[in-house]
Structure 1
Amino acid sequence: MSVWDDLVGQDQVVEQLVAAARSARAVLAGGDTAAGGMTHAWLFTGPPGSGRATAARAFAAALQCTSPDLELGGVPGCGFCDGCHTALIGSHADVESVRTDVLSIGVKETRDLVRNASMSPAGGRWQIIVVEDSDRLTEGAANVLLKAIEEPAPRTVWLLCAPSVEDALPTIRSRCRLLVLRTPPVAAVADVLVRRDGVDPAMASFAARAAQGHIGRAHRLALDESARARRAEVLKLPLRVGDLGACLAGAQQLIDAAAEDAKQVAEEVDAKETEDMRAALGAAAGINGRLPRGTAGAMKELEDRQKRRATRTQRDTLDRALIDLASFYRDVLAVQFGAVGELSNEELRGAIEGIAQESAPEGTLRRIEAVLTCRTALERNVAPLLAVEAMTVALRAG
């Protein structure tokens, strides 16, 4: 086992990162950075599910790897030494991983990161900051980060993750070494589910195909029956847009499903967070569990954060549903053009072939465009119900 094992279908990226980790080790010994391409700032890009954050965390672990095998030419990132282990589980003193479960990363949080990045590494190797959602930096936060990257502290490494280079400020990406990850092959994702998670091969194959190479989504589909049920419900929508009333009802069902998903996440996480916060603030065990004076502000801040997280969860759920819809119509288009091979939604082939026969490729393309337009509208904070209603009406007219 090594830290690279969970990087699926990214052999070229792994090769570059291993070379850079070897170069980094040479730097610690007083060598030059140029030979292996080690630098202080990296930008990991790739489509959702490609493993951007996984690659960044694996690289962070490889930079902190202390395996004695390295002296004999071993590969950095053994996965067993204390440096690798603590970096991967998030307890390494010199590796800070930042991911937001709300809509954006603000200036205050970024200034805290920059301040931490300026410190010398406690272990004498590298001070590493992994920003898993750098595309969610506000403009002000991105400018704060830019200054830190322009004038890097010694032994500090920034690992930024974003869906594409366009999601980073031009001034930031010009100062980073770019790594582009690809969507993993379906067979490779299925293999990981079987080998790592013990999923039945047939279920792993279905989940990998349905998730279109998105590793996290495939994992959830393989192990969560409710996620499979919600996906199946979404894929019934193309068969239900026969009239205007059905279009509006279908839109409401999508919104309600997203809200239910957000509620489920809240029930799993919010109660524990609230209980832990109350305990940390010294809530009384007796009379109604009263909080000490002066702590109401902290509880209000937690509640606001939980509401923002629920909003993001609902939007993320809607976005996954839209991706599933787009895959349905892409399958329709594939059938219309006589493509051979397995469909992403092979279990719905009968319905897909029926729609393919009743419509023209031009109409299918317009339906795909309607789905993509809805995704764009949601990214621009259009009211979700309005955006989805416009899409379902367009699906009928397409």
Structure 2
Amino acid sequence: MVKENKAGVTYAKGFKAAGVKAGIKKSGNPDLAMIVSDYDAVVAGTFTQNKVAAAPVYVSKNVVSTGTAKAIVANSGCANACTGQQGLDDANKTAVLAAAKLNIAADDVVVASTGVIGVTLPMEKIAAGIPAAVAALNNDGSESAANAIITTDTYIKSLTTEVMINGKKVHIGAIAKGAGMIQPNMATMLCFITTDADIDQVRLQLALSGTVEKSFNMISVDGDMSTNDMVIVMANGQAGNSKITKDNEDYHIFYSALAELCCEMAKKIAADGEGATKFITVNVHNAKTFSDAKKVGMSIANSPLVKTAFFGQDPNWGRVICAVGYSGVAMQPEQTIVKFGDIIVYKNGMGAQFDKNALQKVMAKHDIVIDVDLNLGHDKATVWTCDLSYEYVKINGEYHT
């Protein structure tokens, strides 16, 4: 069972973390995080598909390609994106500086950044912050690390879960940041996951890639795809389970636990959308394919008209069925049914008869569920999103760090 737990990335055996103030953020808030495994670990990662990817994405992809990692260094307040060769040099130097202090190889250090695009890293602050982070590493440091990676988030995001594999308790923990520029694939988000499971790198990457497709790639706040997002998982084998090297029952137990954790984290990110007042779940049923179901869900989730209607608590079902219609997938208006909560608002190609007072109560809730039944197949998908408020415009109109 997934739990909100400040232990986060230090929940698994053999991991330490820290978050410090390096002076990168103008606010003076914590802005440099470090996560370290005391033991050799395999690593897996998924990254933004934006062709304008930030320097740390390229560096960390190279680290993941080696199959091993022992540390993650992440800064907030500066994205180190669109910074050319200088940005790549700075990202690599960050890894080198951390590796020297930790006495490990530079290609065992994942680097990540989040913040304003087009600004180079203040390397003198990074160089001073890394030793401070190393000195602060401890078994209870996950909360401080989680605080150091957030930007416009209103709260830290920290989850844990555990499962039994071969009679051994396997722990998984995660921290994440993300509130705006949320759109697959993936979102403007960083998520760092640690586990003491003994699993080979191939299975770890397969598990992560599979779970990300049904979790972090199913959220949207504003339809913008970031330059910096990544999900990284390190597994150090300290749980003592028999090593997972095959697609067997042990693998599926691990996969299910990881998937549940990632889904819960994805929901937290969507619910914390910038300026959000509503958390909206869009379930698409009976599509011809999963891809069709996802497209319909994303079409609804990314519609400014839908999102503003829910902010204004306006039960405007027409905006929803309109988004279904222009999603580009096969659909028959007469066969499609739309529900807000448990109230049918559209069927037989037209608006349904419903109790307006009851529907207004649904719209007044913080958590709202939209169900769309295409009645064309057997596949389904769930997308998580939020409303679009005045505060979103204010936050992004004034965003500098």
Q: TM-score, normalised by structure 2?
A: 0.26
Query: Which has the larger strand fraction?
Result: 2
Q: Which has the higher contact order (CA 8 A, sep 6+)?
A: 2
Larger CA Rg, structure 1 vs 2: 1
Query: Which has the larger helix fraction?
Result: 1
